[in-house]
Structure 1
Amino acid sequence: MTPSPHPSRRRGRRAVLALSAAVTAVAVGLPGTAQAEPGDDEVDIDELTQRAEELEESYNGELLQFEEIKTRVEKAEEDLQEIEEELEASRSGVSTIAATQYKNSSGLDPAFSVIFSSEPESVYSDAAVLSYLGQSQSEEIADLIEIRDEAELVADELNTELQDAEELIDELEGKREEIEEKIRKYEEEQVPETQGTGAIPDSAVGGGWSQTTPRMAAIRDEIIRSVGVPYSVGCWRGTADDHGEGRACDFMVSTGGGYPTADNQAWGTQIAQYAIDNADRLGVEYVIWEQQIWHTANRQWKWMEDRGSPTQNHYDHVHITSF
């Protein structure tokens, strides 16, 4: 028969279990992936990606809105994993502090137990407790609370991004037949009513002008005549995207890669709005302006990732792509 533990050892074991439970209560652990609300199906980015791939042909492969959200989801997942590792390290440090504060047979010191209350932030309102713990130990507790809160915030952001991704794919799937019909309609038409020719100022003519498709040329020239442009409009370039297909033009509102003046920023907004207001008639597929993208399928602006410069974030030009 295994001998019974010594009474003091039994008390020590109970204290360790109590400490473990207390530390767990403070160091809120979060799962590696975002949790869905109770009763909801968990959103899986891989499943959404597969659904997006099935839509690529219908949308000419231009699912930029989804790709933008997916990038943010993947970044948030990486951030959450990194924070969880920090959280685990901080939890271990706090556990060590708690263990060293245990005194003889009386259990956890009352002053220290404040830390393990349901609201651990309350420890900072008690100067006596802070003095008792000492600066280094207080900093470890502060780190734990800060990392826990950061993890919760990132997890909330991840859930929001995942929900946005799911809603967008649902919208695109719902509009799939409508978009396919639009593509058939535009392909059957020879050229839009506006032929893409006319009195265009030389200052508006940019690179790749002659390689633009008739439809995109018509959109480009109508905007130039109706709204005007402060600088040149660049279209075709040898890239593996809609510019390389001749289906896109960039309407510049500043030069040198800088931000536009207030007047030119308003001008850019007019150009973007004209394209949106006439999207169905002209055959505009999507518009990018000021780090946002508008697509004819769901007809709403979606934020894009910060790419680090006014040009990459589309603050110095309006990008318009045709079907």
Structure 2
Amino acid sequence: MTSTPRNAPRHGRITASLAALTALALIGLPGAAHADPDDDVDIDELNKRAEELEDTYDGELLQYTEIKDRVEAAKAELEDLDERLENSRGGVSAIAAARYKGDGFDPTLQIVFSSEPEDMFNDAATMEYLGDSQAEQISELIDLRDEQAEVTEELQEELGEASDLVEELEEQREEVEERIKEYEAEQIPETPGNGTVPDSSRGSGWEQTTPRMAAIRDEIIMKFGAPYPVSCWRPSAQDHGTGRACDFMMSANGAAPSAANKSLGQQISDYGTANADRLGIKYIIWEQQIWQSTSRQWTWMNDRGDLTQNHYDHVHISSY
């Protein structure tokens, strides 16, 4: 925005100052984010594509669901920010109206709103002129503008990550389906723990576990032991409900594991990733991170609120 010449008629200065404030109040501050977060990526379209991958993937779609939850949270935060911004702009508009009716504006205000708003707070005279209440309203508008820009950027990044993940899963789908067929065709060895796994390690759903998951479970118990019962099948829409997952508990009743058991959980997790192809491990969750056999990397999961839901007290292993 161009500044008004110092020798402009008084009426011109008043008009320019009022225009500057009106533009600020109704359009936004310099640097405000106005990008539509859905311009480049349509989350609904991504959801449909993800649903088509459900028969092939589990762990990876869990990762996608994590991203989708973050997208929805960011959208809700943006909606709240938009409402707060609108209210704050109304307050700044009131400043404009009051100043215009009272003294026709001091040119100081034009300088304030035609340059970087943050700079105004470096001028003690300007602060005194505006008064504490009005300065606070304008400061709030600046803060909300910056917060909106930050949340919008985060949302765009999350949408981009969701899009990249779906594209990657679509590209790998045939390869993964072939791998699943190979695992299904393999002769699964008898569980090596028959007769040798101690009763103290046998948790819920022990008998309903699939042969492959039982073989994985018992090999890990025989190699590392089990400080607490290992639970497997339970009613669930996820892998536990099909008998293809077990939880290797490192503590009881939601408590934090001891240092020794925390180390043991890490050893089991490392053993699983190192032997995933041989054993037919699909994914592992440990300490709020998930590892997929397809991507071969750990990724952070959303905070679910407690040690158990965030997998700090047990290692979750799912099999093909």
With structure 1 as the length reference, what TM-score do the two structures score? 0.88
Per-residue deviation, 1:25: 5.2
Partners of 1:288 and 1:82 in 2: how far apart?
33
Q: Matched residue of 1:287: which SS? A: strand
Structure 1 distance, partners of 2:301, 2:58, is 19
Could you tell me which amino acid in structure 2 is paired with residue 34 of structure 1? Answer: P
Do structure 1's residue 127 and structure 2's residue 127 form an aligned pair? no
Query: What SS does the corresponding residue of 1:55 show, helix, strand or coil?
Result: coil
1:56 deviates by: 1.0
Gaps of 5+ in 1: 1-6, 37-41
Q: How does 1:121-200 map to 2 (within 5 A)?
A: 121-192=118-189, 195-200=192-197
Q: Equivalent residue of 1:223, what SS?
A: helix
Describe the shift of the 1:186–1:313 C-alpha distance in structure 2 as closer, same or farther (beyond 3 A).
same
Deviations 1:277-317 (A, max 9, x none): 11111111111111111111212222212111101111111
CA contact (8 A) 1:27 1:145 kept: no
Give 1:190 shift: 2.8
Residue in 2 that maps onto 1:94: 92
| Map 1:103-122 → 2, pairs under 5 A | 108-122=105-119
Residue number in structure 1 paired with 2:279: 282
> Would you say the 8 A contact 2:190–2:211 is kept in 1?
no
Partners of 2:158 and 2:282 lie apart in 1 by: 24
Matching residue of 1:76: 74
1:318 to 300, 304, 315: 315
Structure 1 partner of 2:6: none
What stretches of structure 2 of length at least 5 have no aligned partner? 1-8
Give, in angstroms, the shift of residue 103 of structure 1.
6.9
* Cα 1:10–1:124 shift into 2, 3 Å: closer
Report percent identity of matched pairs: 56
Q: Does 1:271 align with 2:283?
A: no
Give the alignment partner of residue 47 of structure 2, picking from 46, 49, 56: 49
Q: Which residue of 1 aligns with 2:29?
A: 26
Q: Secondary structure in 2 aligned to 1:254?
A: coil
Superposed CA offset, 1:233-267 (max 9, x none): 11011222211110000011111202212222221
Kept in 1: contact 2:20–2:114 (CA 8 A)? no
Q: With structure 2 as the length reference, what TM-score do the two structures score?
A: 0.88
Q: Distance in 1 between the 2:73 and 2:60 partners?
A: 21
Give the whole-Å Cα distance in 2 for the aligned partners of 1:64 and 1:168.
11
Query: Quick check: 291-300 or 276-285, which moved more?
Result: 291-300
Letter in 2 for 1:140: Q
* AA in 1 matched with 2:265: G
1:287–1:295 Cα contact (<8 Å) kept = yes
Aligned to 1:212: 209
The code of the aligned residue for 1:229 comes to A
Tell me how far 1:61 sits from its aligned partner: 8.5
Measured after TM superposition, the shift of residue 16 of structure 1 is 3.6
Residue in structure 2 matched with residue 65 of structure 1 by the alignment:
63
C-alpha offsets along residues 71-123 of structure 1, whole Å, 9 cap, x if unaligned? 11111111111111111211121122123223789x64233234314321112
- 2:288 aligned partner: 291
**Per-residue deviation, 1:167:** 1.6
Asked if structure 2 preserves the Cα contact closer than 8 Å seen for 1:58 and 1:176, the reply is yes
Conservation of the 8 A alpha-carbon contact between 2:284 and 2:318:
yes
Count of residues in correspondence between the two structures: 311
Change beyond 3 A, Cα 1:263–1:114 = farther
- Does the aligned pair in 2 maintain the 1:291–1:313 contact within 8 Å? yes
SS state at 1:17 partner? helix
* Counterpart code for 1:89: N
- Which one-letter code corresponds to 2:23 in the other structure? A
Q: Give the C-alpha shift of residue 189 in structure 1.
A: 1.6
RMSD over aligned Cα atoms: 2.5
3-state SS, counterpart of residue 175 of structure 1: helix
